[in-house]
Structure 1
Amino acid sequence: MKYLEYKGYTGSIEYSPQDSLLYGKVLGIRGLISYEGETGKHLEADFREAVDTYLAYCKEGGKSPEKPFKGSFNVRIPATLHQRAALLAMEAKTSLNNFVAEAIRDRVDKEPA
């Protein structure tokens, strides 16, 4: 397992040899939600507790919690690549958004799960 998953949130798994601790943070959001543990079980428990605490804090404050990986992001590429991609998308009678999504999907599908 490369990541922790809980209630739609994904957490990293890192190791600190200096502290002999596992640690991580919730990915895909601007806020910092971190956790740690001496073992994998402790790390996972602290991850779940951190997410639950964050959600409770948002609820108490009447705020909407950040949603990780919302499905939209900005990409900066060279103008020539943008042009080529846009022209290929037009030739394929699809949107540039669909063209880029398919290219990303093709690359992601090549990676082992």
Structure 2
Amino acid sequence: MTDRDSGSDEPADLSEEGDTPASDGGVPAGIDEDELYEIVHDAVEDAILGVVGTLLLLGIGFVFLTAGVSAALGAMSTAAFGIGLTVFVVGLVIFVTTLRGVLPMSEWV
């Protein structure tokens, strides 16, 4: 039975494979600094673009919502009221679907 099969909670002796234990007791991932920088850079860039996209969609939805409400309230005919209501519903759909991706209802409770 080897050290790896002993079933103990202690980390096995890794010196024979050339890996040195990390400070947390694990084994280093083997990624150099340039690769790590590129991964972190891409992740941060994706996060920033996601935030900007979400804010833009919320802004567009809010514009549609307010335009639809003002058009529906100021309507002089049934057709104008229908157009205002349609614009309001489009804005509501954009706003709600954007928020649903950001804040699922299950996490609100």
Q: TM-score, normalised by structure 1?
A: 0.25
Q: If each structure's helix is expressed as a fraction of its own residues, which one has the higher value?
A: 2
Q: TM-score, normalised by structure 2?
A: 0.26
